Amino acid sequence: MQPPPDLYGRPRADRLFSALAPVVAGYQRLSERSARRQPDVRPVDRDLTLVVRSVVAEADGVVSLWLTDPTGNLLPRWRPGSHLDVTLPSGTRRQYSLCGDPADPTVYRIAVRLVGAGSAEMHAVAEGSTLTVRGPRNAFPFVDRGPYLFVAGGIGITPILPMVRMCARRGVDWRLVYTGRTLESMPFLDELSALPTTDRVRVVPDDGVPDIAELLADAPSGASLYCCGPTSMIDAVRREWTGPLHFERFSPPPVVGGKPFELQLGAEGPVVPVAADESALEALRRVRPGAAYSCRQGFCGTCRVRVIDGEVEHHGGAVADGSMLVCVSRAAGDRLVLDV
């Protein structure tokens, strides 16, 4: 192992790095001895099987599910903004914000609006049945640094509700702007009006596009803004609001207008079909669950792989010739052969 040249341009190898080379080589040989008494890696199962204690209609097209441990054990604690990963009967996973009381460790509450196949499955869940969930985990952390302005759009009220309750309990300065298509479609209005300080809540039923600038106008001075709602609302808030801003970053947008193609994993490797509405990464991970990726939006470069054959339709950031970002790029033709 040839050490690097001297740092100050003297005509010899760098002395310190030269000295370091045998030390690290010796250290590495020492590390081999640790193979004796190597502890096993234990599989960790984080699934919770919970029973649906009750199902409550909260608004038009919205039900809440109350989940408890069937053996009466206490549930893991959570902070406002947390969600559960729910495995649906079909095997699909969906994330739902916890909208109950964080101080009550005996029950979780989630609320589901009926849109699409996943939520239809959740609406079909009956009292007394069991659900497999994982979590709670927090992608929308609520920080004790008021005053606050909360902006919720429709079912986006779910993570905000526990935050608002905590504010009401602590007596800090806060406001809530809650928009929805109609009053009948907006869940938890009754719980909001039962709060001790209802003048802090502004309910805006609006069929059109709400005027965001106007909604943000009555923020307390120096407020941190917490926003949850449709992407269009979050984008508008991001454009208008100059103060501290918290919002939940959802998983990447679905693949739209993609064509199906095939991935071959290695020159002699297996062939995996990629459906029109999934990314090459999703298909790759079915076969190689340990494949590295991170952002799933084509900017971090973690998932970059070398392409042995086939023409790539590139999306996302620039990559070196002959490679692709499997999280966003697709095949221009029928098949790509990847060096994985």
Partner 1 sequence: MDENLVLHPRNVRFDWASVPLHWVPGEPLTSHTINTLHIVLPEGERWFVEVFREALPLITDDELREQVTGFIGQEAMHAEAHQGAADHLAAQGLDPTPFVAQIEWLFRKLLGDRDLTGAAKHQWLLERLSVIAAIEHFTAVLGQWILNSAPLDKAGADPTMLDLLRWHGAEEVEHRAVAFDLYMHLDGRYLRRIRTMIVVAPVLGWLFVRSARWLMANDPLKPGRARWRDYFRAARIGLLPRLSELLPAIWRYLPRGYHPRDEGSTDQAVAYLAQSPAAKAAS
We find the least distance from the C-beta atom of residue 288 to partner 1, in angstroms, to be 8
Across-strand partners of 330?
Answer: 313
Across-strand partners of 224?
Answer: 148
CA dist 64 and 66 (Å) reads 7
CA dist 70 and 49 (Å) reads 8
Buried b / exposed e over 90-111, threshold 16 CB at 10 Å, is eeeebbbbbbbebeeeeebbbb
CA dist 133 and 94 (Å) reads 10
Residue 87: both structure tokens together: 């495995």
Q: Which of 26, 171, 244, 270 binds partner 1 (CB under 8 A)?
A: 244
User: For residues 253-292, which are near partner 1 according to CB under 8 A?
Assistant: 289-292
Which of 43, 196 has the CB closer to partner 1? 43
Q: Which of 14, 69, 101, 121 binds partner 1 (CB under 8 A)?
A: 14
We find the least distance from the C-beta atom of residue 271 to partner 1, in angstroms, to be 21
Task: Identify the CA nearest to 281 among candidates 250, 315, 311, 310.
Answer: 315
Which of 96, 188 has the CB closer to partner 1? 96
CA dist 32 and 112 (Å) reads 53
Query: Which residue type occupies 190?
Result: D
Q: H-helix or E-strand containing 191?
A: helix 189-193
- Residues touching partner 1, count (CB under 8 A): 58
By CB under 8 A, tell whether 17 contacts partner 1: yes
We find the least distance from the C-beta atom of residue 104 to partner 1, in angstroms, to be 18
Across-strand partners of 113?
Answer: 62
Residue 105: both structure tokens together: 């460790």
Name the segment binding partner 1 (CB under 8 A); options: 7-15, 116-124, 173-181, 212-220: 7-15
CA dist 180 and 248 (Å) reads 19
Residue 222: both structure tokens together: 């120096």
Which of 21, 275 has the CB closer to partner 1? 21
Q: Which of 73, 286, 299, 322 binds partner 1 (CB under 8 A)?
A: 299
Query: Which residue type occupies 85?
Result: D
CA distances from 12 to 2, 3, 24, 68, 136 (A): 11, 10, 21, 70, 57
3 state SS of 54: strand
Q: Which of 70, 89, 141, 333 binds partner 1 (CB under 8 A)?
A: 141
We find the least distance from the C-beta atom of residue 137 to partner 1, in angstroms, to be 5
Q: Which of 52, 172, 204, 295 binds partner 1 (CB under 8 A)?
A: 295
Which of 59, 303 has the CB closer to partner 1? 303
Name the segment binding partner 1 (CB under 8 A); options: 15-23, 49-57, 149-157, 169-177: 15-23
Window 65-104: contact mask with partner 1 (x via CB under 8 A): -------------xx--x----------------------
Q: Which of 137, 169, 259, 286 binds partner 1 (CB under 8 A)?
A: 137
Window 311-330: contact mask with partner 1 (x via CB under 8 A): --------------------
Residues forming the site for partner 1 (CB under 8 A): 1, 3-5, 7-9, 14, 16-17, 20-21, 24, 27-28, 31-32, 34-35, 38-39, 41-44, 46, 78-79, 82, 134-139, 141, 143-145, 224, 238, 243-246, 249, 289-295, 297, 299-302
